Amino acid sequence: MTKDEIENYISIGVRGAVCVYRERLLSLPLLVMSIYISGKMGRFILNIDFDPIDMVDTGEGWSWQSEAVTLEDIIHVLEVFQSKPLLHWENFNKAGKLSYYDENVDNEEYLQKETSFKTDMLYGEKLLPLGINWVGRP
């Protein structure tokens, strides 16, 4: 991925955002962390969503939002967070990774994991990339 690809996808994409990271949480595999970049020239925002695995991209999870910063600042923070340079990032809007989950989810297990997520991980705060001021919280 390149900086131009990010800017173009944000400006012409249906969602007005590009998902550059999506992974199941290692300690809570029934939750998925997705990182989106949105905004416009000079004022970009990171949105981080923590969704139940069977509800990715449905708006049912917990969201964090950064203050507006430059795209260069976001790229730097995410390169450190992911331990990979921008050129190796993937556009998950196109890839659709973890967008669909057809297996049954054990509600009791999910509720236990959700409680741990809220209390032990502070709604995902302990998992957020460093170097960003978070203004929107769950």
pLDDT tens track for 52-83: 888 888 888 999 999 999 999 999 999 999 99
DSSP-assigned states of every residue in 37-53? EEEETTEEEEEEEEEEG
pLDDT value for 96: 64
The pLDDT of residue 101 = 59
**What's the gap between Cα 40 and its chain centre?**
18
Confidence class of residue 6 from pLDDT cuts 50, 70 and 90? Answer: very high
User: How far is the C-alpha of 93 from the C-alpha of 90, rounded, in Å?
Assistant: 9
**Residue ranges of the domains in the chain?**
3-136
Strands of the sheet with 43-52, listed across from one edge = 17-24, 31-40, 43-52, 62-66, 134-136
User: Alpha-carbon distance 9 to 2, whole Å?
Assistant: 11
Answer yes or no: is pLDDT of 42 > 60. Answer: yes
**pTM across the whole model:** 0.90
